[in-house]
């Protein structure tokens, strides 16, 4: 036992929102907890998805035993197709979580379902030296679990994403009892969700949304259009229940909303009353006061169903004067402009659009607030604590919540960043170096379309300063220019064909060609570099701009 070492290596999700992924290594065995993606920031031009860098895992591929998923949100499962295209190992998760992963694999045209191993809460599985118990937790998506991972050095509790909902709509309570049992027996390390560490008090129960939704259905004279995250099965169930209560039929619209509703219903997680569903193409034919529409696109994604409805470009559904539109989801930071633009469009059509903070609420968080975080800390009473899932300020605040446990056996709290190694042995725990982590940018939704950093740099360059193409026609026999070079530009404000600036630029290119010796003129690569350097010097001097310059030499 004296030479046993345990390493916990977050590969994403610390110091950022999304890309949640943690490697746990004991001896020559590694398990991966979660495998998430994130959506790109505005500066990642043209990038659709961002995946974690798998360099460390590829280097230790032979040691990886399994991927274990805590729940089905994209920031925890979105990178599984990318991961499985590189590393082939079994994937453990609940029925619903694996069904969502399978849907993603189909989109990427990968077939890995045979490697799926379905688990249930309270089940214990053994993977190499690890014994893992799955513990049911409440969250904004159904079938979420925490993990109790027994290792040769002790127990690691990984909460996944959670909140402590005392009145969940499906009556499946957070299994605090099992968590407390592990706490009594002794927990080596707690990894706990920090998302709402800057929010005091308790997170409201999912049931808190019902009074506001009831009021909306009660007073709406025309159609009710509800948009929520497609993974919010509790919210979808609420809309179906209220629609039945108020005599409305429901049209489910949007690719992700339809797909997830079908999956949840097939697994018995969603109860759809008989005769309540309506085809989207029939939604506009019924009396408006008899229709409710469940639609995806809460974040204003350009091609989402709700964004198309907002600009009256959806083939089946439109919003008309007097309709009520409900955005039952939080506004994810960075999406404000797209969402408010969409709300403006619908308001212009005369719809009553409800969104944002209200009391009673339209939406409640799926993450624990400060008091629930303290509850988990007090039940688990770990020897070591490492906050996970959040930006540095949240990790730091969560770490401070554990200060009172210093008298109850907590030896040290580690605020880590993605790539840091937490190493534990019989001497204690410490930060022990760093592994390569980073982001892999994916274009157009295919795991094969990896965007290199240089491409993003060029896109930024083009967006900020434009492009200049000097076009030179050269006689292949004499090596002389046929005419003065032409200069084509896009996104470069000073570039008008007749301007003195452009005439001077053409002269600069001609002068570069004329001053080159015969040997240089026969090497197009050298000539292009000379033209680029001279033209760049001229443009920077005259305009302080740095457009992308790409000389084109034509032989005639």
Catalytic residues: 193, 367
Burial class of 154 by CB neighbour count within 10 A (0 to 12, 13 to 18, 19+): middle
C-alpha–C-alpha distance, residues 441 and 42, integer Å:
13
Whole-Å CA distances, 135 to 120, 176, 180, 409, 491:
9, 9, 11, 23, 56
Best CA proximity match to 182, nearest among 6, 388, 382:
382
| Residues whose CB is less than 8 angstroms from the CB of residue 12 and which lie 6 or more positions away in sequence, other chains included | 18, 19, 20, 21, 36, 38, 52, 418, 437
Residue found by looking up tokens 């434009």 in the block: 466
Exposure class string for 87-98: b at 16+ Cβ within 10 A, else e:
bebebbbbbbbb
C-alpha–C-alpha distance, residues 520 and 359, integer Å:
74
Structure token pair of residue 246: 């108020």
- 3-state secondary structure (DSSP) of residue 356: coil
Q: What is the DSSP string of 168-206?
A: -TT-----HHHHHHHHHH-EEEEEEE-TTTTS-S-PPPG
Structure token pair of residue 283: 């939604």
Strand order through the sheet with 439-442: 49-52, 439-442, 450-451
Helices (H) and strands (E) in the chain, counts: 16, 28
C-alpha–C-alpha distance, residues 136 and 173, integer Å:
8
| Residues whose CB is less than 8 angstroms from the CB of residue 295 and which lie 6 or more positions away in sequence, other chains included | 225, 226, 227, 253, 254, 257, 305, 306, 309, 317
37, 51 Cβ separation under 8 angstroms: yes
54, 12 Cβ separation under 8 angstroms: no
Q: What is the DSSP string of 409-452?
A: T--EE----TTEEEEEETTEEEEEEE----EEEESTT-TT-EEP
**For strand 130-137 and strand 144-151, is the pairing parallel, antiparallel, or unpaired?**
antiparallel
Structure token pair of residue 328: 């039952």
DSSP code for 160: -
303, 315 Cβ separation under 8 angstroms: no
Structure token pair of residue 193: 């969700």
Structure token pair of residue 218: 């009660």
C-alpha–C-alpha distance, residues 198 and 459, integer Å:
36
Q: Measured in whole angstroms, how far is the alpha carbon of residue 206 from the centre of its chain?
A: 23
């Amino acid at each position: 036992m004296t030479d046993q070492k345990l390493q916990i290596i977050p590969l994403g999700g610390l110091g950022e929102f999304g890309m949640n992924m943690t490697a746990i290594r004991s001896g020559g065995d590694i398990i991966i907890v979660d495998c998430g993606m994130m959506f790109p920031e505005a500066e990642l031009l043209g990038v659709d998805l961002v995946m974690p860098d798998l360099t460390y895992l590829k280097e230790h591929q032979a040691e990886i035993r399994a991927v274990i998923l805590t729940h089905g949100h994209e920031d925890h499962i979105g990178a599984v197709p990318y991961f499985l295209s590189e590393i082939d190992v079994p994937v453990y998760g609940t029925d619903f979580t694996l069904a969502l992963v399978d849907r993603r694999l189909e989109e990427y045209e990968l077939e890995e379902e045979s490697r799926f191993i379905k688990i249930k809460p309270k089940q214990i599985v053994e993977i190499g030296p690890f014994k893992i118990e799955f513990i049911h937790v409440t969250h904004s998506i159904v079938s979420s679990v925490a993990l109790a991972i027994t290792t040769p050095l002790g127990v690691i509790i990984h909460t996944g994403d959670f909140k402590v909902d005392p009145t969940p709509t499906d009556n499946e309570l957070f299994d605090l009892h099992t968590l407390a049992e592990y706490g009594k027996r002794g927990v080596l390390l707690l990894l706990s969700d920090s998302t709402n560490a800057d929010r005091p008090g308790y997170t409201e129960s999912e049931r808190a949304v019902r009074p506001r939704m009831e009021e909306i259905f009660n007073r709406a004279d025309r159609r009710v259009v509800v948009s929520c995250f497609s993974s919010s099965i509790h919210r979808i169930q609420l809309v179906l229940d209220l629609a039945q209560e108020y005599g409305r039929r429901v049209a489910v619209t949007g690719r992700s909303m339809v797909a997830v509703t079908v999956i949840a219903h097939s697994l018995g997680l969603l109860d759809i009353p008989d005769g309540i569903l309506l085809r989207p193409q029939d939604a506009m034919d019924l009396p408006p006061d008899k229709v409710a529409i469940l639609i995806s696109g809460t974040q204003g994604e350009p091609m989402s169903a709700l964004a198309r409805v907002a600009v009256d470009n959806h083939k089946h559904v439109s919003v008309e004067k007097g309709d009520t539109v409900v955005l039952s989801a939080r506004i994810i930071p960075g999406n404000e402009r797209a969402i408010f633009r969409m709300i403006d469009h619908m308001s212009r059509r005369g719809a009553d659009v409800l969104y944002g903070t209200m009391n009673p609420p339209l939406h409640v968080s799926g993450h624990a607030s400060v008091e629930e975080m303290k509850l988990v800390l007090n039940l688990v009473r770990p020897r070591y604590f490492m906050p996970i899932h959040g930006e540095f300020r949240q990790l730091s605040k969560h770490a401070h919540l554990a200060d009172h446990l210093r008298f109850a056996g907590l030896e040290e709290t580690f605020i880590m960043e993605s790539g840091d190694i937490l190493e534990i042995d019989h001497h204690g725990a410490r930060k022990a170096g760093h592994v390569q982590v980073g982001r892999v940018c994916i274009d157009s939704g295919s795991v094969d379309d990896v965007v290199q950093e240089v491409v993003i740099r060029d896109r930024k360059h083009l967006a900020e300063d434009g492009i200049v193409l000097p076009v030179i026609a050269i006689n292949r026999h004499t090596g002389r220019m046929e005419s003065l070079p032409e200069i084509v530009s896009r996104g470069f404000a000073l570039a008008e064909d007749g301007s003195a600036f452009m005439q001077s630029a053409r002269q600069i290119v001609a002068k570069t060609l004329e001053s080159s010796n015969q040997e240089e003129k026969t090497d197009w690569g050298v000539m292009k570099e000379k033209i680029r350097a001279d033209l760049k010097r001229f443009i920077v001097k005259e305009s302080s701009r740095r457009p992308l310059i790409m000389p084109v030499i034509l032989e005639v």
